[in-house]
Amino acid sequence: MAIKFEITRECRQTAARRGELHTAHGLIQTPAFMPVGTQGTVKALISGELEEMGTGLILSNCYHLFLRPGVEIIARHGGLHRFMNWRGAILTDSGGFQIFSLGGLRKLDDRGVAFTSHIDGTTHFLTPERVTRLQNMLGSDIAMVLDQCPPYPAGYEEVSTAVRRTAIWARRSKEAHLNQNQALFGIVQGGIFEDLRRQSAAGLAEMDFDGYAIGGLSVGEPKNLMYETLQTTVPELPPDKVHYLMGVGSPDALLEAVRWGIDIFDCVLPTRIARNGRVMTSRGYLPIRNSLYATDLSPLDEACSCPVCINYSRAYIRHLFSAGEILGLRLTTYHNLFYLARLMKEIREAISEDRFEQYYRKMSPRLTKLYGGVV
């Protein structure tokens, strides 16, 4: 068995649950947030820094690695773990979202997707079978099926077509999946349409994947619609399998999604905003580039125990950004990922100690006020 998932504690008042995800590259305590290492690197950080903050699972992207440096080169290194010197577990996304974001640069039908590389203009054709084989070669712990992710807003017929095609591709992906040491997850689509979400989830459940992702959310819809969709979709997923919400990383949304039974998350939000000088703190976002912090000797967040907050001041980090020094964005990236790792640890402890509902009632209004504007 490529992975083993055990639910160790369930909240009595909500669908929140704590679990253990066993992989060949370590144990991941869930609920957990995955930092995004799209191209084989979590931008600005080295593997050891991720390990020391407790990260056990990261995400990389098959589409981007296929285009550069090429999956064959990675395979010659012995797989993605050795290529990027990462001892933890890896989940590889199929790249469906990135391909469909290309707009006029791609064309799709039931066979697969033809697209033009955003890097050098070369043309490629990817099928569900080929994407699965590429991930087999990468050697990730968890691979994702190729899916069709419709935009928001999209009409019922367009989303219905995406659901049908995603189901066809999911079955073909499973038939092509040959790496017994690698788990394969299906992806539920359906937009904000309750009947299509139920249809997609039911069809994928019959195929018996190792885990189930909810895709097509956090693509521009209001958060209340995302939450409503989760409430109707998660109960349709096999309860003993991993539930993965794709592309969500704001603190308020993480807490809300855990309440509805989500186990793992990924998002570029914490690292992307860090590189622009936007820091997550216990008091909300802190724009470190602001001149207000030029002489501020306090840490980024006085409530944080990460090495950045222990050792560096706001004034120093602002100076690094003003001077164009790379260290500045490294420090803010580390801090933001540490902030989310600590939040997820607090959530896990609350579930284990049978006080998640109280924790949720206390933290949800606060996090919504501080972070409610960004998914």
Tokens, residue 172: 């073909």
Query: Which residue among 93, 141, 147, 252 is the active-site one?
Result: 93
List the one residue out of 201, 282, 200 whose CA is nearest residue 235.
201
CA 174 to CA 146: how far, in whole Å? 10
Tokens, residue 149: 């992710």
Tell me how many degrees the CA angle 67-71-77 measures, rounded to the nearest 5. 135
93 in catalytic set = yes
266 in catalytic set = yes
Contacts of 310 (CB under 8 A, 6+ apart): 299
Query: Which residue among 141, 147, 252, 266 is the active-site one?
Result: 266
Whether the CB-CB separation of 201 and 189 falls below 8 Å is answered with: no
Q: List, by residue number, the catalytic residues.
A: 93, 266
